[in-house]
Amino acid sequence: MPNIENLKKQAKLYLRWHRERYFPVAQRTRTLLPRYRGMSDRDVLAASFKLADAQELVAKNKGFENWAALRDGVGHMANDQTQTTAKATMLAAEPQLFVADIAAACAFYTSTLGFAEAFRWGEPPFYAQVFRDGARLNLRHVDAPAIDATLSEREQFLSASITTDDVKAPFLEFQATGVVFAQTLKSEPWGARTFIVRDPDGNLILFAG
């Protein structure tokens, strides 16, 4: 059963994360609070965000309309001595790609594939995130390849799959920027059209529509 004191601490944590420009909280805020929808991560983190907003975010995440409803709901559950297990909502999936150089990887995804950089972390950077529309890729520095390159090439191990409503458009776009394709655009037996991009670290990214 939820504890109101723990929920208050969670709200304060969301508030602190927003002040510290922690990007994952921007995605959750935009998803659950309608007034932030349509804003970029940077705009969400630059916008006014008070404790009341953080409490509303906690309430929405628990399935309540607002903080007052959440507080009343927790009170009723305590009074009734009813213990329930809430079902979590899966908000997004973010594949993690292993790269040798964070700066070079960010440059490839932004300059060649049209992504935007959400953040870099560390000094020197060892972690970053790039995004394009609803697709997000996390980049993690490693000193040595995490997967054997020969095996990856032979088995065509995918690092990420990205769906799009018009797969031909990004194929032509990437073709013009000189992308190396592991597979050019083709129609699959199950009806999808796909192509695969190989990034400078050998990660294979499937685009499908």
72 and 167 fall within a common domain = no
76 and 127 fall within a common domain = no
Chain-wide mean pLDDT for the chain?
87
107 and 204 fall within a common domain = yes
pLDDT at 2: 60
Query: What separation in angstroms does the CA of 162 have from each of 94, 114, 151, 207?
Result: 10, 14, 22, 5
Residue range of the domain that includes 30: 4-80
Return the minimum-mean-pLDDT range out of 78-87, 103-112, 166-175.
78-87
User: Is 78's pLDDT higher than 60?
Assistant: no
* Tens of pLDDT, residues 44-77: 999 999 999 999 998 888 888 899 888 888 766 5
What is the Cα–Cα distance from 7 to 41, expressed in whole angstroms? 24
pLDDT at 82: 46
User: Is 207's pLDDT higher than 60?
Assistant: yes
pLDDT at 140: 95
Percent of the chain with pLDDT over 90: 47
Structurally, how many domains does the chain consist of?
2
Q: Domain holding 186: CATH number?
A: 3.10.180.10
- Asked whether residue 89 is domain-assigned, the answer is no
- Asked whether residue 90 is domain-assigned, the answer is no
Nearest by Cα to 60 from 78, 41, 34, 80 = 34
**Assessment of whether the complete model's pTM goes beyond 0.85:** no
